[in-house]
Structure formats: structure tokens, C-alpha cells
Amino acid sequence: MAVSRHGPRVSHLLFANDTLIFCQASFEAFQCVQRLLENFEKASGLKVNLDKSSVAFSRNTSIEHREGLARVLRVQEVQRHEKYLGLPAAVGRSKKVVFQTLIDKVWLKLQSWRCKSLSQAGKVVLLKSVVQAIPVFVMGCFLVPLSTCRVIEGLMADFLWHNKDVKKIHWLAWDKICTRKNKGGLGLKRLHAFNRALLAKQLWRIIENPNSLISRIWKQRYYPSTEWYMATGGMGSSFTWKSVLASSDLIMAGLRWQIGAGRNVRIWTDRWIPRPITFQVITAPNTLSLQALVSELITEEGAWNEAVVQEIFCQEDANAILAISPDLGRLDSLRWHFEKHGRYSVRSGYGLFEQGTVSVDSFRERGSSSCNPSSWNFIWKAEVPPKVRLFTRRVCRDLLPTSANLQRRGALTEGFCPWCGTEHESSTHITAVPLCSCSVGFD
């Protein structure tokens, strides 16, 4: 089977105990598949479970022909295969319905923990290590709807702040909780941004392995005569391809050329200067043509022609170019700027969202109140129980259930300290002895 006229033909997909076999809807082809399965059973000693196997036909196949072919393999006919490797085999118009299973899985997992007496530190560990890992596989293939991500984050927020079935105040907005620890957050991830960082990994595989099966299929189907960054996700594009393209801006934010001989990189239009965000020269084109290659700046000995570089480029560009080490024995290659090894990583991709280099819907990283990163690092690295670190963080962010905070949330009519009655009861008032006249917190 081929997904495009000139694309590679695919006969099967194998992974662990999931197998997909593609063939023509003919008796000869089905008998060949039957012999294949019989030979597999004889060679391996394993038996194919026909009760769990099924066959799906194209809509151009008549009902009588379908029934006859299904009897050859002794398997049931289905309209389409619902899932493969736990992922939906086809995604229709209603994305929310398809990805409702993610919400259900997260809800069931959180419900199983609600009856346990967990500290907030323990809840944070479970959210990071277990709950955020549940949608990772799906998010690596599909762009999960923003509404689905928000529902999951809402369930996580409820679990973090509530105690068993008792609803309590959410003392901090979720987008602030998801900031980095050195900015006063808990280091949890915004799911929509994390989703795009995972999908960018698929684009990187196209760049790194252009001869892989999926790379060749996508190229022939969506950009046969161009490059992936010129492709579009228009009419007729699969949901998977549209999902992958949603992270093209993230990949482009860190993609640049590593100069070897310089024969494949154009001076004025390509991204080859190791300087974010554009990675391009800032000097306007002058004596060299727009199609001039970087190799024209390199001598036969493999060094930069320093006189030419200084003459053509501004000082900032010249310094950046001369800091690059060309190599005539190596081809030019694309690399990810934000990793030393030059390969894209989800961690560094997500970091661009955190820094604001790449924008994403609903993502806003907000810093802490007054503490600088070094102060937060001191708190998180302190050799004390995790609950003490979290309590200290709540003090620094004024997240304690003091009278002043409860008044702001409408739980109390007055915010004065119940002991001294003269000052508002804030986190600073009850913990910082030199700054207040009320020492009840330490009596």
C-alpha cells in the first residue's frame, strides 16, 4: 500500500505484539497472508489469536466480497481499526471525543490517590513522575486540543490543593505553579507547550534521518519538490502531519547550520551564525551575490579569508564568523543550537517556551514576587525535608492562610492579626521576628 502515487509502498508495520498487514482485497492476497501466518506459527511455536484479530476494507469493496475475504482468514470485519499501539488509528472531526480517554486515565489515577493522606510534597512528586507521564506517548504523535490540556491541568490543580474530598483554596494560579523552581514555581509542565515540544522531536527525526520510512512517506505525500519547512497542512493533510507541523516554529527557533566545507550554505539567506534568534548575518548584502556560498569565504587551506570577512561584514558579524571553525573534510550539517551535542531535546525545546523565545497559547511564565533565582535555588537545595522547603516557598510567596490572604479571598471580613490586632496578618508578619511587633508565631 502506498499513501501517495510516488511514495514508498508499505506492506506491514510490526511492533511488539501489535501487527498491521496491508494487502489488496483479493482472494490470492488473503490466501498469501494466511500462509504467512501459518508459517509464522510453525517457525515460532506461537499461535495467532484470531479472536483479537480483525480486518478492515476500503469503502470501495462490496459487502459480499468483504464477507468472503473475512472467512478466508477466519477473523471479524470492522469498519476501521480503532487503535494501534494505544493510539487512535484515525482521528475524526471531534478531537475532544478522541482524546477523552486521556482525561479519563488521569482522573482514575488521581481518584486512586484521594483516599490517601499525602503531603503536598508527595503530591508534587506524584504529579511530576506519574500523572504528567500518562499523556506523553499520545502527545508525541498528536496535537492534543488545548481544552483537553486545560481539563487535565484542572484535575491536577484540584488534586494538589484539595485534601481528600474536601475542597480548599487554590492559593496560586496554575501558570505560576508551572514556572521553573528558580522562579518560585514547582517545575510542573504546561501540557500544551510540552505537547509541542514532544512533537518537535518528530520533525527533528525528519531532519536527522531523511531516508527513514516515515520521512520518505511524508516527503512524497506533503512536500515532494520542496523541504519540510515549506510544507503546509492544508486540505487533505492527515491530523498527524498537521500536529507535527504545529511545532515547526519551535524547531526553526533553534535550527542552524554547522559549517563544514561551506558548499551547501548560502551566506545571506541561510541560518549559520551561532547567534540566536535569527542565526543570520545582520550585514546587508553588498559585493557578493545573494546566492553566494560560505565556501567562498574559506581558503584552500581550510581557514577563513580574514581580510575578505573583515571587508564584507560588520564587526559583529565578522567576529562571529571568525569564531567558527570550518572543516573542508566535513559536510555542512544542520544542528540544534541549544544542546552541546547538536541534537534536539524535549527539555531544551520546552525551555524556549519558558523563556518566551517561542510563543504558545495560554503559556505565561510568571516569576516570583521578590526572591531572585539564587534565593530560590538556596531554598530548593537546602538539606531539609521536602515539606519544609515547600513551606518556606509558601512563606516567600505569601501563600499561607493568614487573615490578610483570607480577607482578599472573601473568607474573612477583616485581615488584622488576631493576637496583636494592629497589623494585617501576612506571612511576613507571623514569621519575620525583626520586622513585626507580634511574636506569637514563636511563643
Q: How confident is the model at residue 265 (pLDDT cuts 50, 70, 90)?
A: very high
Mean pLDDT computed over every residue of the chain:
86
Task: Please tell me the distance from the alpha carbon of residue 358 to that of residue 181, in angstroms, as a whole number.
Answer: 20
Provide the H-helix boundaries in 134-279. 136-139, 146-161, 174-177, 191-208, 213-222, 239-245, 248-252
- Mean pLDDT is lowest, of 172-181, 336-345, 417-426, 433-442, for 433-442
Q: How confident is the model at residue 421 (pLDDT cuts 50, 70, 90)?
A: low
With 90 as the cut, is the pLDDT of residue 201 above it?
yes
Would you state the pLDDT for residue 10?
86
How many angstroms separate the Cα of 418 from the Cα of each of 93, 253, 391, 424, 436? 58, 54, 22, 9, 14
Would you state the pLDDT for residue 364?
52
pLDDT in tens, 63-86: 888 889 988 988 888 877 777 767
With 50 as the cut, is the pLDDT of residue 123 above it?
yes
Rg of the chain taking only CA atoms, in angstroms: 29
- Mean pLDDT is lowest, of 71-75, 106-110, 121-125, 426-430, for 426-430
Task: Please tell me the distance from the alpha carbon of residue 225 to that of residue 48, in angstroms, as a whole number.
Answer: 42
Task: Please tell me the distance from the alpha carbon of residue 334 to that of residue 19, in angstroms, as a whole number.
Answer: 34
This prediction has a pTM of 0.84
3-state secondary structure of 55: strand
With 90 as the cut, is the pLDDT of residue 293 above it?
yes
Q: What DSSP string runs through 246-276?
A: TTHHHHHTTEEEEPSS-SS-BTTTS--SS-T
Under a CB-based contact definition with an 8 Å cutoff, are residues 233 and 15 in contact?
no
Would you state the pLDDT for residue 104?
94
- Mean pLDDT is lowest, of 144-153, 361-370, 410-419, for 361-370
More confident residue, 438 or 286: 286
pLDDT in tens, 353-411: 988 777 766 555 555 456 788 888 888 888 898 888 888 888 888 788 877 778 777 77
Residue from 440, 415, 422, 416 nearest 430 by CA: 440
**Average pLDDT in the 214-240 region?**
87
3-state secondary structure of 238: coil
Would you state the pLDDT for residue 368?
47
C-alpha cell at 213: 520510512
More confident residue, 279 or 117: 279
- With a pLDDT cut of 90, the percent of the chain lying above it is 46
Would you state the pLDDT for residue 434?
46
- Mean pLDDT is lowest, of 128-137, 157-166, 177-186, 406-415, for 406-415
Would you state the pLDDT for residue 354?
87
Would you state the pLDDT for residue 97?
82
- With a pLDDT cut of 70, the percent of the chain lying above it is 90
